[in-house]
Amino acid sequence: MNQIKLGGRTLKTGLAITIAVGICHLFGIEPAIFAAVSAVVNLQPTVYQSYINALQQIGITFTGIIIGLILAMTLGNSAVAMGISSILIIIIALRLRWNSVILIGIVTVIFIIDTQNDYFYEHAFSRISVIFIGLIVALFVNVFLAPPDHRKSIVDNIMKFHDDVTGILYHKITNILQRMDPDEAQNHNILELQKQIDPLRDSLNLFKQEIRVLPYSTQANEFHVSSQCLEDLQQFNTQLLHKIILLSDMEQERTKRIATRKKLPYSNEFQRVIDRIQNANEQIFRNSGLIHRQVLQQKLEGNWEKVSVFDDSLELQLEAWHNEHAGDPFYMQALMEISILLYEIRLIAREQYRLFKSLANE
């Protein structure tokens, strides 16, 4: 039997309905059910969205009140008045891009027009009141009683993305250097990571919006620092993924080229170049772990390893290997691939260190 888990949104919904209906019963304001509807409509995943929704709901409610009062006094509480008012509410909401509150606007005008003539103003005021009771309760619950904490889930998701992409990068470079066949499972993981880029960007935007509505709290200031950190980290992650895709294309071509000739051992000169590149690859991988711990624990643990893969000695090794095989297109292609690999590793190491220094200054 599947276990049902109660999330924060579910608990907030129940809490908001309880408080809104309770207030209506306490003060004898009816219909209390409309306060519950108003509270549910205004409950949003973030405080920022709740504020925006509340402003739209206030706007559409006042619009509904005006339209409802005008049509009720001119056409009475007839079906025609309800139909015309609903059409007007939909047109106005769509023009203002208030799509999410169309329902509450329609219900507002219907409730007002449906008010009995003998007690029209009294009932209209009562029904308007329950709308705002639900709205205010929803805001109160979202902001004060159960504010959503998106930081942990965003940090966890971005760090998982970081771990996955750096792990794939490490194995991709290793596979190329060791002339191994492409890993199809790894290519599938690359596609999955590509699908996560937009959702993670949207999550970061929600995170920054949350900060915007709480600008003076200590927690918000901490979030502001963290949000910039996370944005820089995810931008770096995306760059790594693009480089992995580039290396995957190179890996495919390299595999096809090697398949046309007997796989001979590397020469001593070329093996020394390969060893240098693999050492840099391992340094980048270890440094990524250092960034992971720094983000999660908010403190520096371990020593940064300077990645210096290209220097005079490596240039001499490449030149010696090139002189030995000059004129052979097969080896010239290999030299081009190694040059691309060296270039990408240098860029990655430089950006990784920039990110590390940025995190260290937080």
Tens digits of residue pLDDT in 260-276:
776 667 777 778 788 88
Q: Which residue has the higher pLDDT, 351 or 222?
A: 351
The rounded distance, in Å, linking the Cα atoms of 107 and 37 is: 10
Q: Which long-range contacts (CB under 8 A, 24 or more apart) does 336-343 make?
A: 337/176, 337/250, 337/254, 338/273, 338/277, 340/250, 341/173, 341/176, 341/177, 341/247, 341/250, 341/277, 342/277, 342/309, 342/310
> Beta strands of 24-175 (E only): which ranges?
none
What average pLDDT score do residues 10-39 get?
A: 85
Distance CA 144, CA 136 (A): 12
Q: Which of 218, 217, 164 is nearest to 195 (CA)?
A: 164
Q: pTM of the predicted model, to two decimals?
A: 0.66
Write out pLDDT tens, residues 187-244: 888 889 999 999 888 888 777 766 655 544 444 444 444 677 788 888 999 999 999 9
